[in-house]
Amino acid sequence: MPDFVKSHTLLSPSGAFRWLRCALYCRVALSGEFRKHERPPGLAAIIGTEKHAIMESFFRRILPAAPPNPPESWLKEAWESSLERALLPESEADFLSEFLGSLAFSKDFLIEENLPIPGIFAGGVEQIVRGTVDLAFYYRDTETLKIIDWKFGRRKVLAHNNPQLSLYSKAAALKFAKPVKALEKFIVQPAITHCDKEEKLKPNFTQKVAAAYQGGQKAPATAGDWCEFCELQRLCPKYIKRERCSREIAPEFRKILADMEIK
């Protein structure tokens, strides 16, 4: 299940690409105002949640019942004959079948596991951050950790340098509590038949993570690709300047802006 459904922490892995880069976003997130003014999810988010639930149902039913030493094609064969396959559009189900054909089974797995992620510092203190890992496998023979994140939207997402996946990897590694020599991170997007993979050898899971805002009155905004779906677009001076347009400041954020003395 996506982070916005399960997580009650102020900083979520799904927003990491913003709070790691933009001090303004990070400071408002730490204030708790996003939670107070959270809007109901849109249609795309609801559909994505339902499809996440379909994948969760499949893996929770299949993985615990795996036979001893299943063949490499076992996950694909189980998917092909499953009820869950019929619940997705044919093109998405076919793409998932192809992906699962390349994914070996391991008896060490996580399914939609909501985990703590330590070592994240923002506002000058360590934050309580949790994230939900869609699917993870640990392979004892090669000491390899695989992280799979389902994305059911149509906007292409890459695994390379993806902070959300990096945080999930750290959480899963700590949960498995086993040595990791190789890390493989996957973004799987059935709706656009897209799969991206990043591999790392000897990953470091003990490294601390510093957010863009570490305290004080100044919280400068930083504009970039992460602005696209940011809740602060209508008040952010950097975004307005970047887009060369003026936007009305959302009423619920006017007082926050004044209190923080952000010009």
Q: Tell me the per-residue pLDDT of 205-217, one tens digit each, with 9 for 90 and over.
A: 999 999 999 998 8
Confidence of residue 200 (pLDDT cuts 50, 70, 90): very high
Summary mean pLDDT of the chain: 89
Q: Which long-range contacts (CB under 8 A, 24 or more apart) does 217-225 make?
A: 217/260, 217/261, 218/23, 219/23, 219/24, 219/26, 219/27, 219/260, 219/262, 220/23, 220/24, 221/22, 221/23, 221/24, 221/25, 222/21, 222/22, 222/23, 222/24, 224/21, 224/22
How many independent structural domains does the chain possess?
A: 2
Specify whether 129 is located in the same domain as 161: yes
Does residue 100 form part of some domain? yes
Q: Are residues 189 and 138 in the same domain?
A: yes
Whether 218 maps to a domain, the answer reads no
**191 vs 260, residue with greater confidence:** 191
pLDDT above 80 for 253:
no
- Point out the least confidently predicted range of 55-59, 96-100, 126-130: 126-130
Same domain, yes or no, for 249 and 152?
no
Range(s) of the domain holding residue 247: 225-259
215 in a structural domain: no
Write the CATH number for 15: 3.90.320
**Does the pLDDT at position 136 exceed 60?**
yes
* Mean of pLDDT values over 130-142: 97
155 and 41 in a common domain: yes
Q: Which of 68-77, 152-161, 203-212, 221-230 comes out lowest in average pLDDT? A: 221-230
Tokens of 106: 């391991």
Q: Is 38 a residue whose pLDDT tops 80?
A: no
